[in-house]
Amino acid sequence: MTLLKFDEVFGFKLENHVGYEIPQKVQDLAKMRNEYRKAGIWDKADQVRKEVESLGFVIEDKPSGQFKIKRKL
């Protein structure tokens, strides 16, 4: 049994634990990008995504409309 399978049973949400702090600026930009996407303002959403990437992070979009911020590898 993998650790993530174990986590599914007990609900610790280890998948969401990133082990590093995401700067507030990056969090704010990601929220702004999400609002642009909801409004269909794709060019602005792309600009914000590029800015987030320039800060060393990437935004991973989820089918539910949620997003996840990760450190750029």
Neighbour tally for 29: CB within 10 Å: 20
pLDDT value of residue 9: 54
Give residue 67's identity as a one-letter amino acid code: F
Between CA 24 and CA 28 the distance in angstroms is 6
Q: Beta-carbon neighbour count of residue 11 at 10 Å?
A: 7
6 pLDDT more than 80: no
pLDDT class of 72 with cuts at 50, 70, 90? confident
Task: Give the domain ranges of the chain.
Answer: 19-71
Q: Is the torsion defined by CA of 58, 46, 61, 38 positive or negative?
A: positive
Q: What is the pLDDT of residues 19-46, one digit of tens each?
A: 678 999 999 999 999 999 999 999 999 9
